[in-house]
Amino acid sequence: MRSLKFCAPILLSLTSSSFTLGSFLTLYDVQGPLAVGSTTSTSDTAAGTAVYDPPYGSYGGYAAYNPIVLAPPAVPSGLSTQYDLVLPGSASNVQGLSIPQSGSFLGFSVEMSVVTQVVGINASFLQVPFLNLMQLVAQRGGSVNVRVGGNTQDYAVEVKELTDNRGICVKKDTDNTRNPTDTPTLLFTPELLYMLSNVSALVNVNWWLGIPFNDTADWRLQIAETGETILGDRLLGFQIGNEPDLYALHGHRAANYSVWDYFGEFAEIIDVIASDDQIPKRNNLIAPSVSGTWTPEDVWSTGFLTSYNSSLGALAVEKYPDDNCAALYPGGAFGPAKDPQDVFANYLNHTSGQLLVQPYLASTALAQQNGKPFYMFETNTASCGGFPGISDSFGAALWAADYALQMAYSNFSAANLHVGGLSDSYNPFIPPPTNESMFEGWTIGPVFYSVLATAEALGSSNTSRVIDLNANNGSIYTPAYAIYEQSALARLALFNYISDSSGASTVTVTISVGGGQTGEQLGTPQTVKVKYLAAESVAVKENITWAGQTLGNRFQVDGRLKGSEEVQTVQCNTSSGTCQVSVPAPGMALVFLSDSAYQEVEPCSTITFTTTSVTNPLVTVTVDPSILSMSNGNRSVVLGGTDHGNQAVRGVGASVWLFLSLAVAAGIRLLEGML
Ligand SMILES: *[C@@H]1O[C@H](CO)[C@@H](O)[C@H](O)[C@H]1NC(C)=O
Ligand SMILES: *[C@@H]1O[C@H](CO)[C@@H](O)[C@H](O)[C@H]1NC(C)=O
Ligand SMILES: *[C@@H]1O[C@H](CO)[C@@H](O)[C@H](O)[C@H]1NC(C)=O
Ligand SMILES: *[C@@H]1O[C@H](CO)[C@@H](O)[C@H](O)[C@H]1NC(C)=O
Ligand SMILES: *[C@@H]1O[C@H](CO)[C@@H](O)[C@H](O)[C@H]1NC(C)=O
Ligand SMILES: *[C@@H]1O[C@H](CO)[C@@H](O)[C@H](O)[C@H]1NC(C)=O
Ligand SMILES: *[C@@H]1O[C@H](CO)[C@@H](O)[C@H](O)[C@H]1NC(C)=O
Ligand SMILES: *[C@@H]1O[C@H](CO)[C@@H](O)[C@H](O)[C@H]1NC(C)=O
Ligand SMILES: *[C@@H]1O[C@H](CO)[C@@H](O)[C@H](O)[C@H]1NC(C)=O
Ligand SMILES: *[C@@H]1O[C@H](CO)[C@@H](O)[C@H](O)[C@H]1NC(C)=O
Ligand SMILES: *[C@@H]1O[C@H](CO)[C@@H](O)[C@H](O)[C@H]1NC(C)=O
Ligand SMILES: CC(=O)N[C@H]1CO[C@H](CO)[C@@H](O)[C@@H]1O
């Protein structure tokens, strides 16, 4: 039933400059700037440097570190702070459950131009914080799905080598003047794909890529040819067209570009793929990835689904609930900049996620009828970089977890939170600016905690079915979801969007299971376990915890959870058959209704190895091959870390890179053969 876990102990021997376990992996601090990648890209619109006029105050630095803290919305009146949940124990007694979901449901979308900042420099130098973060998710949800792409994928060019910048797999061609929205041309070598493959050899990460779609006269299929060869089963599919409904607006197609043009071009690319012997898979294309300028129905009305059924691996859309474009492009067509304080409340209730999924409900049903998964391929709090103070607040963490579970309930099969770069406020994680990478650590966006919470809510069995309980008489501030796994009630996710430090808005939920219905196996348990997603208010950016642990505040993150895990055990009332769980204002409680529902997602003791400080630039960490094999897949090894014995120094040397020597690469292959 539940997947096996391997909790291999890792023995460390620490010397003054290095610690060694064998002769396998070497970790280095990177010396000097990375010299690659854009620090100014956003997701849906290529960006300049954000302008911080009022309401942003005088802050002129990277949006990723904007210190602005908003005021939480006022405590609403009339909230009922006690409600009951009377739930069937068996899925068979529940109407309206979602399709089975996987713990990898909420993944990431990494803009192709920032992949060398976030994932690694090349196949030999991987970002240890990235590996650690992915491992945290994989330990809970079984695996992690990452999309590498975005606007930049359409103008990407695969080349054999990049002579001027040795060891760099992605390069921005700054001479590109052809592209009206400044989408950079990216040159990359197959090293990029080896890099992703080497990540997957260490952590259970699977990838989506995109085939460049800018040039209908000269399709560039190299990423599909080399991608399938190098990534094999780790490659989940190829996006064909990124937001084609915006191509005309961005000047990437004629102004009259229509769904019919897209339909025709799709046929052309299917044809060239079919005639390419180096692309073995023909059924893994992802489309139409429209963003709302065209509805999915506009595309379906062309006969897209029937015409291309055998080529389509999944259907997808991309949507952000709002945009902050006016702040990014002041004085332009976007009008006056929105004040984040004015839109903050839009993220702090259950309606937001419901409104987001509503336009796609007919399509998720259609996808099911056609046997296709339906993805939210790229999303986050707001396009054009997000809203400082919202996108990077604890409120966004609650919002993203609610939105993700709403999508799961609505029969999406995956959703990817976008990582855009230092000019964005919404990054789930971001390394320090390259000129500061020697002495600053990474920064975590609150929405990363949403990914941990969602992965645990859904678990690793791929059988979780979700229902929105319309709890507390449908209060928009206190939504709740039930997750049935296999066929039994497994977990509950209980939200409270209100910020009220007085404690008066803490909600008490009285849960009873089984309710005497016939055929019920699971009644109210004797105890339940509870983990909390918590922070002081929805406005804060600091001290966010999941089950009592934090990844650290700004510039302090190395990808490992800090502090000891806190899991509450609630004794239920066996005579009344009820369990009372409180949900702080603000917060989310994840309630585990059985031991197996808890054990399945509870990471084994987290094994990490720490490395070095700035004063100690070269550290060797080597891992015995038998131990490394344990880190491949749903197994519990966390790689790397940085601050051992140096807690006094802030975020010391957190840009530590995992250096894989060629011998290592050979070792990975060998291990895969043995697994
Ligand atoms: C990978 O990048 C590192 C750091 O820039 C460099 O030292 C190394 O030579 C590169 N490896 C390859 C194979 O290019
Ligand atoms: C498509 O992008 C490539 C790479 O940037 C460029 O060489 C080519 O001219 C572009 N084609 C069109 C039609 O814009
Ligand atoms: C769309 O515009 C292009 C020129 O920009 C023109 O050649 C083409 O005929 C137009 N297509 C339609 C269907 O009007
Ligand atoms: C709740 O969120 C919706 C959608 O974002 C928004 O339109 C509405 O104003 C919010 N309600 C309150 C009371 O803040
Ligand atoms: C479409 O493809 C799916 C597999 O992706 C398959 O299950 C389904 O039967 C196909 N539908 C038709 C009408 O061919
Ligand atoms: C999700 O799919 C299931 C199974 O087809 C269906 O019963 C349910 O109504 C769907 N949920 C939504 C919100 O469309
Ligand atoms: C790094 O660059 C940023 C932006 O140019 C600048 O604000 C910051 O002071 C620099 N840091 C160092 C240590 O030079
Ligand atoms: C869940 O699905 C993933 C992706 O298809 C697969 O790799 C994994 O083995 C599945 N897990 C279980 C327990 O079946
Ligand atoms: C539930 O909400 C409805 C309207 O939203 C209201 O009429 C009704 O009185 C509420 N019931 C309870 C028990 O609060
Ligand atoms: C975070 O926690 C630290 C240590 O408990 C405390 O000093 C700091 O004020 C807190 N920050 C916020 C924003 O609550
Ligand atoms: C348990 O429930 C019974 C029946 O509702 C009630 O009388 C009793 O006080 C409850 N016990 C506790 C400890 O709350
Ligand atoms: C497992 C895997 O893909 N290993 C690759 C790591 O990257 C090197 C290139 O540096 C490849 O040669 C390996 O095949």
Beta bridge partner(s), residue 173 = 185
Among 86, 473, 475, 478, residue to substitute to test ligand 9 (most atoms within 8 Å of Cβ): 473
- Residues having CB closer than 6 A to ligand 12 are 123-124, 194, 197-198, 201, 665, 668-669
| pLDDT value for 93 | 92
Other C-beta atoms lying within 10 Å of the C-beta of residue 25: 24
28, pLDDT greater than 70 = no
Cis previous bond, 288, omega within 30: yes
pLDDT tens digit sequence for 611-622 = 332 222 223 233
pLDDT of residue 521: 64
Residues 92-103 pLDDT 10s: 999 999 999 999
Give distance in angstroms: CA of 158 to centre of ligand 10. 47
Instruction: Give the least confident one: 79-93, 431-445, 513-527.
Output: 513-527
| Ligand 1 atom with minimal separation from the 34 CA | 5
- Pocket of ligand 10, beta carbon within 6 A: 536, 540, 542-543
Find out whether the beta carbon of 78 lies less than 6 Å from any atom of ligand 9. no
d(CA 312, CA 287): 7
pLDDT band at 125 (very low <50, low <70, confident <90, very high): confident
Give yes or no for residue 353 having a pLDDT over 90.
Answer: yes
CB 611 within 8 A of CB 25: no
Our answer on whether the CB atom of 98 is closer than 6 Å to any ligand 6 atom is: yes
| Protein residues with CB under 6 Å of any ligand 4 atom | 345-346, 349, 351-352, 355, 476
pLDDT tops 90 at residue 506: yes
pTM recorded for the entire structure: 0.88
Query: Whose Cα sits closest to atom 12 in ligand 11?
Result: 573
* Model confidence pLDDT, tens digit, residues 354-372: 999 999 999 999 999 999 9
Query: 410 CA distance to ligand 8 centroid (A)?
Result: 21
Question: Rounded distance, CA 101 to CA 105, Å?
Answer: 7
Tell me: the pLDDT tens digits for 319-351? 999 999 999 888 888 899 999 999 999 999 999
Q: What spacing in Å lies between the alpha carbon of 662 and ligand 1's midpoint? A: 11
Greater confidence, 631 or 514?
Answer: 514
pLDDT of residue 170: 65
Give the C-alpha separation, 671 to 675, whole Å.
6
* The three-state (H, E, C) secondary structure of 271-321, written as one string: HHHHCCCCCCCCCCEEEEEECCCCCHHHHHCCCHHHHCCCCEEEEEEECCC
Q: Does residue 406 line the site of ligand 6, with CB under 6 A?
A: no
- Name the residue at shortest CA distance from atom 14 of ligand 12: 665
If you average pLDDT over residues 71-77, what whole number do you get?
97
| Ligand 3 centre distance from Cα of residue 181 (Å) | 21
pLDDT value at position 183? Answer: 60
Ligand nearest to the CA of 368: 6
Position 641 confidence tier, pLDDT thresholds 50, 70, 90: very low
pLDDT bin (cut points 50, 70, 90) of residue 627 is very low
Name the closest ligand to CA 540.
10
Per-residue pLDDT of 183-227, as tens digits, reads 667 889 999 999 999 999 999 999 999 999 999 999 999 999 999
For atom 7 of ligand 3, the residue with the nearest CA is 254
59 CB near ligand 7 (under 6 Å): no
What is the Cα–Cα distance from 430 to 555, expressed in whole angstroms? 9
Check if 370 has its Cβ closer than 6 Å to any atom of ligand 5. Answer: yes
- Closest C-alpha residue for ligand 10 atom 13: 542
433 C-beta closer than 6 A to ligand 7: yes
- Please tell me the distance between residue 147's alpha carbon and the centre of ligand 5 in angstroms: 24
Over pLDDT 70: what percentage of the chain? Answer: 77
pLDDT at 395 > cutoff 80: yes
Q: Please report, for residues 378, 548, 562, 667, the alpha-carbon distance to residue 565 in angstroms, rounded to integers and kept in the order given.
A: 31, 5, 9, 34
Distance 454 CA to ligand 6 centre (A): 19
Name the residue of 125, 162, 664 to mutate for ligand 1: max ligand atoms within 8 A of Cβ.
125
Q: How far is the CA of 403 from the centre of ligand 6 (A)?
A: 16
Mean pLDDT of 86-95: 95
Ligand that comes closest to the CA of residue 579: 11
| CB of residue 361 inside a 6 A radius of ligand 6 | yes
Tokens 């320090």 — which residue? Answer: 432
* SS3 readout for 173-237: ECCCCCCCCCCCEEEECCHHHHHHHHHHHHCCEEEEEEECCCCCCCCCCHHHHHHHHHHHHHEEE
For residue 66, the cross-strand partners are none
Distance 373 CA to ligand 6 centre (A): 13
When pLDDT is cut at 50, 70 and 90, the band that residue 110 belongs to is very high
Q: What is the pLDDT of residue 664?
A: 39
Q: How confident is the model at residue 178 (pLDDT cuts 50, 70, 90)?
A: very low
Percentages (nearest 5) of helix, strand, coil residues in the chain: 25, 25, 50
Give residue 323's pLDDT. Answer: 96
Condensed to tens digits (0 to 9), the pLDDT of residues 216-269 reads 999 999 999 999 999 999 999 999 999 999 999 999 999 999 999 999 999 999
Instruction: Give the number of the ligand closest to the Cα of residue 313.
Output: 5
Q: What is the mean pLDDT of residues 500-523?
A: 85
CB 41 within 8 A of CB 114: yes
CA of 261 to the centre of ligand 3 (A): 10
If one residue of 94, 95, 99 were mutated to test the ligand 6 pocket, choosing by the most ligand atoms within 8 A of its CB, it would be: 99
pLDDT confidence bin for 58, thresholds 50/70/90: confident
Q: Which helix (H) or strand (E) holds 604?
A: none
Residue predicted with more confidence, 606 or 558: 558
**What letter would DSSP give residue 60?**
-
Alpha carbon of 312 to ligand 2 centroid (Å): 25
- Is the model more confident about 316 or about 604? 316
Average pLDDT, the chain: 82
Give the residue-averaged pLDDT of 499-520: 86
> Does residue 662 register a pLDDT over 70?
no
Q: Whose CA is nearest to atom 13 of ligand 1?
A: 167
* Torsional sign, CA 28, 32, 38, 41: positive
Q: How far is the CA of 240 from the centre of ligand 3 (A)?
A: 22
CA distance 404 to 222: 33
Q: Which of 54-58, 530-534, 611-615 has the lowest mean pLDDT?
A: 611-615
The helix or strand, by DSSP H or E, that contains position 309, with its residue range, turns out to be none
| Ligand 7 atom nearest to CA at 435 | 1
What is the atom index within ligand 6 of the atom nearest the CA of 409?
Answer: 13
State pLDDT tens for residues 156-173.
999 988 876 555 566 665
pLDDT in the model for residue 136: 96
| 3-state SS, residue 465 | strand
